[in-house]
Amino acid sequence: MQTLTVDLGERSYPIYIGAELLARPDLFKKHLAGRQVAIVTNSTVAPLYLERLMASLEGCEVATVVLPDGESHKNWETLQLIFDGLLSARHDRRTTVVALGGGVVGDMAGFAAACYQRGVDFIQVPTTLLSQVDSSVGGKTGINHPLGKNMVGAFYQPQAVIIDTAVLKTLPARELSAGLAEVIKYGLICDAGFLDWLEQNMPAMLALDLTVLAQAIERSCAAKARVVGADERESGLRAILNLGHTFGHAIETHMGYGVWLHGEAVAAGTAMALEMSARLGWISTVERDRGLRLLLQAGLPVIPPAEMTPEDFLEHMAVDKKVLDGRLRLVLLKRVGEAVVTDEFPREALDATLSADYRALVAKLAE
Ligand SMILES: NC(=O)c1ccc[n+]([C@@H]2O[C@H](COP(=O)([O-])OP(=O)(O)OC[C@H]3O[C@@H](n4cnc5c(N)ncnc54)[C@H](O)[C@@H]3O)[C@@H](O)[C@H]2O)c1
Ligand SMILES: O=C(O)C(=O)C[C@@H](O)[C@H](O)[C@H](O)COP(=O)(O)O
Ligand SMILES: [Zn+2]
């Protein structure tokens, strides 16, 4: 087992990474506030892993809340189910909420923990690659609004993140690829050497080699912990974790939550950010193509949805959380391995990524 730390003073916490950690009662019990535990999971993950987690919580007074599965349920109505479960089981302020599932469960359970009786402890037990490398770490919690992704939420850190890599064995291939979009993000924004490693190890990751995946998870979590440790509430540096997200969130909102997976939308958004960075002359077209190839190698889309116009993008991007005083700010690449937040926005690059020429370029790279 590897242990990393998210260093946030009195809010610091460990990230444990290893196979079969769901069967480690010691890890869970070390981080419980009291005897009461509320497991929040969903209808897909519960039949797979709930029993295993319950066994590790033997001796605790456990309530279980099983949410409907899917990004389309990341809303007020589903959040209310968590409060219903906590209240009807009479959980008090010393309960610990345990989020067992992907990023949707983690974001909602964390937000519920931040709100229930004005804040109770919570533990993240992420079960998708995306949630293991990204959403379980850093304390961004929340729900979607019909007009924008993650628009209602709170910064609220967990007590611990317990990553059992063995659960990835049941993850569908499409979800594995979605997680790889966020993994590739770390290479592009702050760890150029990681990109070489990813190019070499992509086949092993796609074949679900758990040893190699554990290495990717560890390097990704280390990058995220570094950034969050330096800027917990996104007053500056942390925004680099949003590479591809301004476009990605526009895709998710426009297409309807869940139609494009978050990781797929981020992949297409990252491709758009690569194109813009190249048009500004910050990265070369060779570097842009290398990024696009890696996304393609991971089985991810790099072309935005055909039905979306530049105006559709602009409309959704106007409500991005990085907009300040009405001015759009984007995360682009100053060079490979270094991201910046900029208000430079080459509008023609937006049109270019929606053009037939761009689709032809991608088709050539995919050969
Ligand atoms: N808080 C953050 O910092 C942060 C970071 C990145 C993404 N997010 C959010 O995370 C969400 C996406 O998370 P996600 O990609 O994990 O999606 P998800 O939570 O919808 O999970 C994807 C699918 O995999 C299923 N699943 C989960 N674990 C499984 C397993 N081990 N075996 C089989 N099936 C399993 C789920 O039930 C679901 O159907 C988005 O809402 C996004 O906004 C948040
Ligand atoms: O942790 C962060 O900070 C991120 O930006 C990570 C992103 O991968 C994640 O999708 C996040 O939820 C996006 O944040 P938002 O503030 O733009 O909603
Ligand atoms: Zn993301």
ipTM, two decimals, is: 0.99
Whether pTM > 0.95 for this model: the answer is yes
For the segment 154-160, the average pLDDT, to the nearest whole number, is: 98
Q: Which CATH superfamily is domain 173-366 in?
A: Dehydroquinate synthase-like - alpha domain (1.20.1090.10)
Q: Is the CB of 320 under 6 A from ligand 1?
A: no
Active-site residue, 322 included: no
For the segment 106-115, the average pLDDT, to the nearest whole number, is: 98
For the segment 43-58, the average pLDDT, to the nearest whole number, is: 98
Active-site residue, 169 included: no
What pLDDT, on the 0 to 100 scale, is given for residue 336? Answer: 97
Q: Is 182 annotated as a binding residue?
A: yes
Question: Rounded to whole angstroms, how far apart are CA atoms 297 and 207?
Answer: 13
What pLDDT, on the 0 to 100 scale, is given for residue 346? Answer: 83
Cβ–Cβ under 8 Å, residues 297 and 362: no
For the segment 6-24, the average pLDDT, to the nearest whole number, is: 98
Question: Rounded to whole angstroms, how far apart are CA atoms 47 and 26?
Answer: 23
For the segment 50-66, the average pLDDT, to the nearest whole number, is: 98
How far does the centroid of ligand 2 lie from the alpha carbon of residue 110, in Å? 14
What pLDDT, on the 0 to 100 scale, is given for residue 174? Answer: 98
What pLDDT, on the 0 to 100 scale, is given for residue 349? Answer: 85
What pLDDT, on the 0 to 100 scale, is given for residue 38? Answer: 98
How far does the centroid of ligand 3 lie from the alpha carbon of residue 79, in Å? 20
Active-site residue, 249 included: yes
Q: Active-site residue among 175, 182, 232, 287? A: 182
Take residue 131 and report the two structure tokens written for it.
Answer: 């949630």
Take residue 347 and report the two structure tokens written for it.
Answer: 């509008």
Nearest residue (CA) to ligand 2, atom 15: 150
Question: Rounded to whole angstroms, how far apart are CA atoms 86 and 112?
Answer: 10
Residue ranges per domain, the chain?
A: 2-167, 173-366
Cβ–Cβ under 8 Å, residues 52 and 21: no
What pLDDT, on the 0 to 100 scale, is given for residue 344? Answer: 87
Residue 98 has pLDDT above 90, yes or no: yes
CATH topology of domain 2-167: Rossmann fold (3.40.50)
Active-site residue, 329 included: no
Residue 61 has pLDDT above 90, yes or no: yes
Q: Which ligand is nearest to the CA of 106?
A: 1
How far does the centroid of ligand 2 lie from the alpha carbon of residue 246, in Å? 10
For the segment 132-139, the average pLDDT, to the nearest whole number, is: 98
